[in-house]
Amino acid sequence: MEGKIINMVAVLLSLVACATAQQCGRQAGGRTCANNLCCSQYGYCGTTAAYCSPSQSCQSNCQSGGGSSGGGGTGASASNVRATYHYYNPAQHGWDLNAVSAYCSTWDANKSLAWRSKYGWTAFCGPAGPTGQAACGKCLKVTNTGTGTQATVRIVDQCSNGGLDLDVAVFNQLDTNKAGYAQGHLTVNYQFVNCGD
């Protein structure tokens, strides 16, 4: 009888451990891993290439060479992400985040004009990197997978398309072969980079 109880407790503990093991990413409400660990495609934290490689669909703190070395989203990247466009038209609105009702205006609307106008704008809801307020003001190097054309953009808003919602001017800058316009979106790679502010 005592052996059966011990076995039942062991099984219950195993089930609890499995149920609570998913710690990050879309499986855990967008949470990122502590201590800059990478988040695997399945929602687990770790440091090996299986967790950190964009080719393995890493969700956050990804590293091109596998293994964790960055922090705060710097270096996180994703491949083959959908990028649509939005009419922020920042120059027409004086680079005013409040005027375009950008999510990040709560934290970044009072930044200098030089800061707000340094890069084109994007909304971010990609599979790898920080989310919510933690993404605001960060920069991405975005590459059109079809042409290799690149642009650096600043995150000013959130989106819900699972990737990026670029200002139309940035979208057009990347869409050099007009294939994105024809299909309504681009397929891009992105990497978090230092904004150099």
pTM score > 0.85 for this model?
Answer: no
Which residues constitute the domain of residue 53?
23-71
Q: Are residues 88 and 34 in the same domain?
A: no
Q: How many domains does the chain have?
A: 2
- The last residue of one of the domains, among 7, 36, 71, is 71
Q: Could you give the CA distance from residue 191 to residue 75 in angstroms, rounded to a whole number?
A: 6
Q: Are residues 102 and 57 in the same domain?
A: no
Does residue 85 belong to any structural domain of this protein?
yes
The model's pLDDT over 71-102, given as tens digits with 9 standing for 90+, comes to: 334 578 999 999 999 999 999 999 999 999 99
The model's pLDDT over 131-147, given as tens digits with 9 standing for 90+, comes to: 899 999 999 999 999 99
Does residue 6 belong to any structural domain of this protein?
no
Q: Could you give the CA distance from residue 145 to residue 43 in angstroms, rounded to a whole number?
A: 26
Does residue 18 belong to any structural domain of this protein?
no
